[in-house]
A = this chain, B = another copy of it.
Amino acid sequence: MTAPARHGRRPTIAEIASRSGVSSGAVSYALNGRPGVSDETRARIIAIAEEIGWVPSNAARALRGGAASAIGLVIAREPSDLGVEPFFMAFIAGIEQVLSEHGFALMLQVTARKEQELATYRNWWSARRVDGIILTDLKVDDERLALLAGIGLPAVVVGDPAYANGATTVWSDDAHAAQAAVERLSRLGHTRIAHVAGPAQFAHTRVRSEAMRRECHERGMAMLGEINTDYSLAAGTQACEDLLSLPEPPTAIVFDNDVTALAGLRVARSAGLRVPDDLSILAWDDSPLCEISEPPLSALRRDVPSYGASAATVLLHLIQHGEAVSVRADSAQLVERGSLAQARP
């Protein structure tokens, strides 16, 4: 209950005021770049503030009704899944870059429990801990959207606008990338492909699956199967085994993440198939894992840090101006590495 003993007293505006011989109001104007003080006085005040190392008390500002100068991010995944999920760290790094330029901090919560996630949003907002949040892993019929709208917490949704229910979004056009992937496979002569996808409830899973199916249909290719996984090694292995044991197995498989792609590679090899000669493999979201395998995996690469940076930029704009427009980030680019080859007749 009792706060720890603080060392030196924190410098406050009052101290700057007494040192500079003006009122605390003038100091506040000077320090915030607002009119009401002469340039000369302002310079003197700023010099003193820097000298004694004044930093605005976030508590006081937030209490006054101002910004908490922080945004929140809940990562709603199992910790064990996150271990091999390169997306979030890169995404966070991008967010941070923007936040630090604006003096904002990031509050993070890692929990897979939906109730806790919702409670966290409520609590962060009520307790004035954050000014807004970034919502990731958008789901189909995502119930979090209603909560956020209901309590009025500013939010930027990372995901396809079609599933965001009107919220401001930052999204990468996965449908476009999916088309490009199918097109590439088509050019290589593949006519029977499959998709080892992520969890069905994720909006981006659905976007990818639908786009691939549509593109296959238009090109007269067969989409042999869309198997949903939890991105894990085990699920990827199972999915790939199922696909390869079909009477007419696919000649190319697109995996929604790197781990399942590696699992697929292993399954193919132990089934006596050569990659890419007998089976082409394409991984969604590039990572060092894709480089390390044999053969290295071709991948759909996004600039994840700049994706995070965009999300942060849009959210800050939303917080500061009450409105913001959705932004489409660059869609994924196909990086060829050697796991794609001409389909064998």
Interface residues of A (CB under 8 A from B): 1, 3-8, 10, 53, 55-63, 65-68, 70, 79-80, 82-86, 88-90, 92-94, 96, 100, 105-111, 116, 122-124, 126-129, 131, 151-152, 154, 232-233, 259, 262-263, 266, 269, 287-289, 291-292, 294, 305, 319-320, 322
* Given A105-B107, A127-B56, A6:B96 Cβ within 8 A: no
Q: A111's closest neighbor in chain B, by CB?
A: B96
- Note all chain B residues with C-beta closer than 8 A to A80: 90
**Contact between B63 and A60 (Cβ–Cβ < 8 Å)?**
yes
A23 to chain B, nearest CB (A): 21
Contact (Cβ within 8 A) A106 B107: yes
Contact A79 B305 (CB under 8 A): yes
* Pairwise interchain contact A89-B79, C-beta atoms closer than 8 A: yes
Q: Which of A1, A70, A110, A305 has the most chain B CB within a 10 Å cutoff?
A: A110
Q: B55 near A127 (CB under 8 angstroms)?
A: yes
Q: How far is the CA of A214 from the CA of B89 in the complex (A)?
A: 36
Known: A3-B66, A100-B116. A83 touches B126 (CB 8 A): no
Which residues of B are found within 8 Å of A108, using beta-carbon distances? 92, 96, 106-108
